[in-house]
Amino acid sequence: MRNFFILLIYFNISWLNADPLVKMSQGILKGVTKKTRDGRNYSSFLAIPYAKPPIGNLRFSNPVAAEGWNGVRLAHTDADQCTQQVDSEIQGSEDCLYLNIHSPWLNFNSPKSETKNSKLLPVMVWIHGGAFVRGNSSLLNAGGAYLLDKDIVLVTLNYRLSIFGFFSTGDTAAPGNFGLKDQVLALKWVQKNIILFGGDPKQVTLFGESAGGASVSLHAISKASDGLFHQYIIQSGSSLCPWAYQKRSRLAKHAKKVARIVWCHFKQTEKLVACLKKKSVKKLMKTIRTFDKLSRFSQVTWTPTDEPITDGAFLTDSPANLIKQNKMKDLPLMTGQVADEGLLMTKYLYRSSKPYDLLRVAHFPLIAYTAKSFFDSKQAIKFTKAVDKYYFKSSIYKLSRSQYLEALTKFISDGFFLYPEVRLLETIEPKRKNPIYFYSFNYRGTYSRNANKDHKNLGVGHGDELSYLFPEPPARFESAHLNYAKSDEYIIDLMVDLWTSFAINGKPISKKLDHPNLWVPYTTKTKTFLEIGDINKKMDRKVTLSNSYYTERMDFWRQALPKVL
């Protein structure tokens, strides 16, 4: 009886303070009420533990489900981000496996009063990007949430990064993919608990961008993720991107190198892993400095890999082989890229002369580095020459700085993002029953993540579409969002419509378009895709259907890489 009155008092206090309370099997959770961009109230629960802290003996191990807590857990502030290096500073913590839930429901005692049709809401689970080395689950702290103006429940999550998330000895001692296995455990947590927050566990859309998009693409081919989501959105990344996967033999070489650096036994992998579990975070993070410059430049030292066939394995073959074997989940899919993905790497070269000069010297090694992701050494030489001729006219020293960087941006865009996406679609579409909605995001608004110091219009770079799905972080929010033009607001409304309608109905539609059902599925025959923004006038918000996706450039890659899949 005493516990009943305590619980009753908690719920009454929550109602008075407008702070939502949810009772779970883990314990009682107290969130906070926030407002969306359009002024709608929603409930926010931050830093909910879904796994035990992966420290001590749990470092370099598969995640273990979190335990419960006593009393009421305050869910008002973000958890630490997972350990990562930002510039020269190591930030975050190993104790980082938490997720956030944002729900339009406000009163969790009487859920039937929360929606017009008294039904559970579709769930959207976001996986952040960051090259598998950085990023976090914090998306809505700037206020003015966009997606929550619609009837969906949004989940965001942290997962282990860099050496802590993707270290591998190539065998069972440390098979790797720990960050991806964290995501799987978070998805299982969602299946078990999301109904308590107004979400429908039978209607989960998994979506992510960059490394998050690649993660989604990998979940689509992993048995470990079967039944954990029902449709998916892949943004600017796929499992066939050269930065999204490395063979375990390569990661095993990385592991031995790390062992030598930190003075651990490297001939017996079990002893190596036991030794590394005792090393400090700082010492392990510093090992990244010793890897080759091109690997560090493209930030793909530790990535997803294939594992030995064991219980709990996430990936037991290469993505290319699994896709050829038709292992990709036949669920509704929405996917696409931005127009100038390569600005991810080249935007810095517009700002500083020294990195630019160094890269000009490393021109051929950079192309060869990409080639090694697809070919053996003999074929790579031929490919390198073909790339130099097609993109750089075999005369890099005659090109001006702007000409060279424009060509380099196209090469990186095509090789690292666009062509892997095209090959994925061309391979899977003929074998599928469910639709694929393909897009190209070409709109360059008044704010861009890829502007240089003079705010020159460099193009539509990697991550630019995120500004129209999520509010900008506080540091950018005041200077960017408050100055959005009407065309930017239109793109926000359009993107939110398309993304949430896909999550709700499996079809992206928007009343912002003259024809709400304009976007039709991609097929290998029609090659139809949606252009969001004019590819030639990137500040024009025009939205059209097209069937010519960089045809000449993609034809070059089809000829240069005929046996990728």
- Please give the positions annotated as active site: 210, 341, 462
C-alpha dist (Å) from residue 227 to 224, 324, 424, 447, 502: 9, 21, 22, 39, 19
Look at the chain and count its residues.
565
Q: How does DSSP assign 121-179, residue by residue? A: EEEEEEE--STTTS--S--STTS-BSGGGSS-EEEEE----HHHHH---SSTTS---HH
Pair of tokens at residue 76: 């008002």
What DSSP character marks residue 340?
A: B
Say how far apart CA 386 and CA 381 lie, in whole Å: 9
Say how far apart CA 189 and CA 303 lie, in whole Å: 24
Q: Which amino acid would we find at residue 378?
A: K
What DSSP character marks residue 449?
A: T
Sign of CA dihedral 305, 309, 312, 317: positive
Question: Residue 483 burial (CB < 10 Å; 0-12/13-18/19+)?
Answer: exposed
Q: How does DSSP assign 361-426, residue by residue? A: HTHHHHHHHHHTTTS-HHHHHHHHHHHHHHHHTT-GGGS-HHHHHHHHHHHHHIIIIIHHHHHHHH
Say how far apart CA 345 and CA 298 lie, in whole Å: 8
Say how far apart CA 53 and CA 59 lie, in whole Å: 9
Q: How does DSSP assign 294-326, residue by residue? A: HHHHHT-SS--B---S-TT-S-SS-HHHHHHTT
Strand residue runs (E) in 364-489: 436-441
Tell me which H or E stretch contains 403: helix 401-413
Name the residue among 415, 430, 304, 334 with its Cα closest to residue 368. Answer: 415
Say how far apart CA 362 and CA 152 lie, in whole Å: 47
Q: Which amino acid would we find at residue 465?
A: E
Name the residue among 272, 96, 257 with its Cα closest to residue 172. Answer: 272
Beta-bridge partners for 235:
209, 336
Q: Collect all residues with Cβ–Cβ distance below 8 Å to 444 and sequence separation of at least 6.
A: 457, 459, 460, 464, 533, 538, 539
Name the residue among 411, 162, 372, 130 with its Cα closest to residue 247. Answer: 372
- Which 3 state secondary structure label does DSSP give 453? coil
